[in-house]
Structure 1
Amino acid sequence: MATPRETILTVLHARLSALPATALRSEVLPERVPAEGLLILRDGEPGEPEVTLSPLAYHYQHRAEIEAVVQGADRDAAFDTLTASIGSALATDRTLGGLCDWVEAEAPRPADLPIEGAASLKAAVIPVVLHYSTADPLG
């Protein structure tokens, strides 16, 4: 049986996989970026939980990261479309089917990355804060 943390990350990856861009999880950046863009979900850091004792519960503000990458002549528009689609996908259900108390993405900080002999990449890391509680920090 998967832990609540793993279940949440799996559902978040599934939500991203429904977008037109290729969605990977914890993979290295491939040599080629698909025309629709590329998303790589990183597990991130659960951070220090707040603890309540009765009943015992650990309340996390887990910071996962989505690496968003586009390439091509119209990078700015493609990047804008890609990030907007991530926001829409998260806004459809901010609890990921009741697994989280709240899910919210933070604003990206895009950067243009030159590639020798190819079109530049436009990329950003988009932090996604997952608020959830669990009875065991390891389970």
Structure 2
Amino acid sequence: MPTTRETILTALHARLSMLPATALRGDVLPERVPAAGLLILRDGEPGEPEVTLSPLTYHYQHRAEIEAIVQGVHDRDAALDILCASVGAVVAGERTLGGLCEWSETEAPQPVDLPVEGGPSLKAGIVGVVLHYSVADPLL
């Protein structure tokens, strides 16, 4: 049986898969970036939970990361901006991921230029997604 953390990350990946860009989870950067762009969900860090007693509950603000990548378009800056905005819209469209977490929110993208030897460079942005959820055990 998957943990709460895994269930939430799977649901986030499913939401990202609704976008025209290709959505991967934890994969390496492929040789080619699809024309609509590429999203790679990284599991990230659950961080230190806040703990309440009676009943014992661990409250996480888990920070996952989404690498948004575009390549080969004339206006890569605008294409990356649109891709990052679509990530924000899909997260905002279902903040609880179907009731699996208490809240989810995106952070502003951190832009990254990725040079490619012998080809057009990639334009990327790292979009943080903070997932708020509570569990009875840190391993569940």
Aligned counterpart, 1:54: 54
Aligned counterpart, 2:27: 27
- The one-letter code matched in structure 1 to 2:63 is R
C-alpha RMSD of the superposition: 0.9
Aligned counterpart, 1:67: 67
Q: In structure 2, how many angstroms separate the alpha carbons of the residues matched to 1:2 and 1:113?
A: 35
Aligned counterpart, 2:107: 106
Instruction: Spell out structure 1 runs of 4+ moving beyond 3 A.
Output: none
2:36 is equivalent to residue 36 of structure 1: yes
Q: In structure 2, how many angstroms separate the alpha carbons of the residues matched to 1:116 and 1:44?
A: 28
- Deviation track 1:77-115 (CA, whole Å, cap 9, x = no partner) reads 211110111011011111111111110110011122222
How far residue 135 of structure 1 moved from its aligned partner, in angstroms, is 0.6
- The one-letter code matched in structure 2 to 1:9 is L
Q: TM-score, normalised on structure 2?
A: 0.96
User: Which sections of structure 1, spanning at least 5 residues, go unmatched?
Assistant: none
Equivalent pairs counted in the alignment come to 139
How far residue 119 of structure 1 moved from its aligned partner, in angstroms, is 1.3
Identity %: 76
User: Which sections of structure 2, spanning at least 5 residues, go unmatched?
Assistant: none
Q: TM-score, normalised on structure 1?
A: 0.96
Secondary structure of the structure 2 residue equivalent to 1:119: coil
Q: In structure 2, how many angstroms separate the alpha carbons of the residues matched to 1:117 and 1:27?
A: 23
2:136 is equivalent to residue 135 of structure 1: yes
